[in-house]
Amino acid sequence: MGASLLAGLGDYESIRGRFRWPVLDRLNIAAVCCDDWAGREPGRAAIIEVGPDFALATLTYGEMRREADRLAAAFARAGMQPGDRIAIFLPQGRFVPIAHMAIYKLGAIAVPLAVLFGPEAITYRAADAGVRLIVTDRAGAARLASLRADMPGVETIVSVDGEAEGAVPLARFAEGVAEVFPTRDTHADDPALMIYTSGTTGHPKGALHAHRVLIGHLPGVEMHHDFLPQAGDRLWTPGDWAWAGGSLNVLLPGLYFGVPVVAWAIQKFDPEAAFAMMNVAGVRNAFIPPTGLRMMRGVENPLQRFGLNLRTLASGGESLGTPTFDWGREVLGLPINEFYGQTECNLVLSASRAMGVMRPGMIGKPVPGHVVAVIREDGSLCDPDEPGQVAIRRPDPVMFLGYWNRPEATEEKFIGDWMTTGDRGFCDSEGYIGFVGRDDDVITSAGYRIGPVEIEDCLLKHPAVALAAVVGKPDPLRTEVVTAFLVLKPGREPGPALADEIREHVKRQLSAHEYPREIHFIAEMPLTTTGKVIRRILRDRLASAA
């Protein structure tokens, strides 16, 4: 495949009026992202890996199909069945798409796990999803070795780069298997991918997506990259490919369109290194979350120093803001095309310079093919400029099948045929949608959506903590920073040393992006009569102290 869904349809209004989704019955992501290109152009570049000192290595479509076939055959020999959940716990690199394609070929369900995750985050998701096998590397296997008791369903851990404790090396795992594995003939609505999303009403929930989710993303990717694919296009994002933004906005659409995707496994975002890497790797189309762009604003004379050749620059995951938009236009010579979505229904609003959809301070307009509106609590449409909740109408190919084993939570996500987002916004008279704030308590920090419940559970496991509540505090760089309010157990004294100890506890157990950057020790937690924390009072305290 690889064909554009928007090319040749005209300007934005013409495209919206003329756009029709392709009729989908049978579809497998591996067939359209791997097999088709490997059959037509086996030497075509699929992944460009950036190594130490910016050395580049290429994975072709032919190589990807060959390795994915072998891995799928090895999965089958190990007893994996269609519908089984197989986790991918790897940094950006060639083995991520190989593992994805092998899982889809088998008809199994991919469960990406971010390398930032700590032990509790990993074990919860593996147990909740019923993961049977994990594909990782030696570093990941070393982290997983001590967690097997908390992941009783995991039968096998495969290490892609050699021997590792508690893992079987890939070479041995796939030794002697068939060289060719036929891709399973799946229905477009068959489950393919599960990405966990955090909320405030409980533990993270697995958003289950069908193979059609790939097709559902294509118009949005084409829109915010100004009619991708164009000759010479090359995609990159610093976001972990385990997140929806990394996998569904960049990796899989890039493979579908035949646009090389740059893989750069980094521990920490360095704005100067990012500029230098984009130049060396020939990045033409970048998706960088607003926090990363705000950090890059501190780099002086980037065009003169690094000689960038960007064609498009897109951003999403949190509000971009006018100053960063202006910086992109004035310093980089590019308007930043903002977009919006959620893990459950991603990439439904977008801006696009090429389509004439661009207004600083507004997200953009509905991507062709998606019906997005601002609604009232009863599901009726808001008037122009009237604040309400951003919602997407079903059916929609980008929309999730439901939360894994959570039918009640899935049902609560809808008002009639409107899938609610929990985000408050408004729609102006010209159809632009602006963001106001959140209905719930999910924290948006550095492009990540962070649910407080998981962090609070972790905090309560620290021996000094009696009660814990987590909220977001507005921050000019990260949008919000995770802020914890703690009531200590009797006999424990607050202080900087204890605060540092608690931060390290969360870093180790969850992940580096979820630890509380600010900790406030309080004598009494504000609670409702039913024992729920009144986070609004805590946020008000932060606002009054600002």
pLDDT band at 1 (very low <50, low <70, confident <90, very high): low
pLDDT band at 546 (very low <50, low <70, confident <90, very high): confident
The helix/strand/coil state of 351 is coil
Residue-wise pLDDT tens digits, 135-169: 999 999 999 999 999 999 999 999 999 999 999 99
Distance CA 96, CA 84 (A): 18
- Please say whether the beta carbons of 470 and 476 come within 8 A: no
- Please say whether the beta carbons of 282 and 259 come within 8 A: no
Please, which residues have CB within 8 angstroms of residue 188's CB and are 6 or more apart in sequence? 24, 25, 26, 27, 210, 211, 212, 215, 397
Most confident of 10-24, 38-52, 470-484: 38-52
Whole-number pLDDT of residue 530: 45
The pLDDT of 526-531, averaged and rounded, is: 60
Higher local confidence (pLDDT), 298 or 33 = 33
Please, which residues have CB within 8 angstroms of residue 105's CB and are 6 or more apart in sequence? 28, 30, 68, 69, 72, 181, 182, 183, 184
pLDDT at 536 over 60: yes
Distance CA 25, CA 22 (A): 10
pLDDT at 529 over 50: no
Alpha helix stretches (DSSP H) within 463-534? 496-509
Report the alpha-carbon angle 441-444-448, nearest 5: 125
443-545 — its CATH code?
3.30.300.30
Residue 143 CB burial class (10 angstroms; 0-12, 13-18, ≥19): middle
Whole-number pLDDT of residue 199: 52
Q: Mean pLDDT across the chain, nearest whole number? A: 93
CA atoms within 13 A on the CB side of 538: 28
The pLDDT of 275-301, averaged and rounded, is: 93
The helix/strand/coil state of 203 is coil
Residue-wise pLDDT tens digits, 64-100: 999 999 999 999 999 999 999 999 999 999 999 999 9
- List strand residue ranges (DSSP E) for 35-120, in order: 45-50, 56-60, 85-89, 109-112
Residue-wise pLDDT tens digits, 241-264: 999 999 999 999 999 999 999 999
The pLDDT of 205-233, averaged and rounded, is: 97
The pLDDT of 114-128, averaged and rounded, is: 94
Token look-up 């995707």 returns 261
Please, which residues have CB within 8 angstroms of residue 216's CB and are 6 or more apart in sequence? 347, 369, 396, 397, 398, 399
Higher local confidence (pLDDT), 58 or 447 = 58
CA atoms within 13 A on the CB side of 128: 23
Whole-number pLDDT of residue 200: 45
Distance CA 97, CA 66 (A): 12
Encoded tokens for 446: 């550095």
The pLDDT of 167-172, averaged and rounded, is: 98
Nearest one of 294, 409, 432 to 360, comparing CA atoms: 432
Whole-number pLDDT of residue 545: 84
Distance CA 336, CA 296 (A): 13
pLDDT band at 314 (very low <50, low <70, confident <90, very high): very high
Distance CA 345, CA 99 (A): 24
Whole-number pLDDT of residue 272: 95
Please check whether the domain covering 66-211 is classified as CATH 3.20.10.10.
no
Distance CA 524, CA 451 (A): 22
In the chain, the amino acid numbered 278 is: M
Whole-number pLDDT of residue 213: 98
Indicate the helix (H) or strand (E) that contains 135. Answer: strand 131-136
Min mean pLDDT across 39-48, 64-73, 148-157, 533-542 is at 533-542
pLDDT at 414 over 70: yes
Domains of the chain: which residue ranges?
A: 66-211, 443-545
Whole-number pLDDT of residue 248: 97
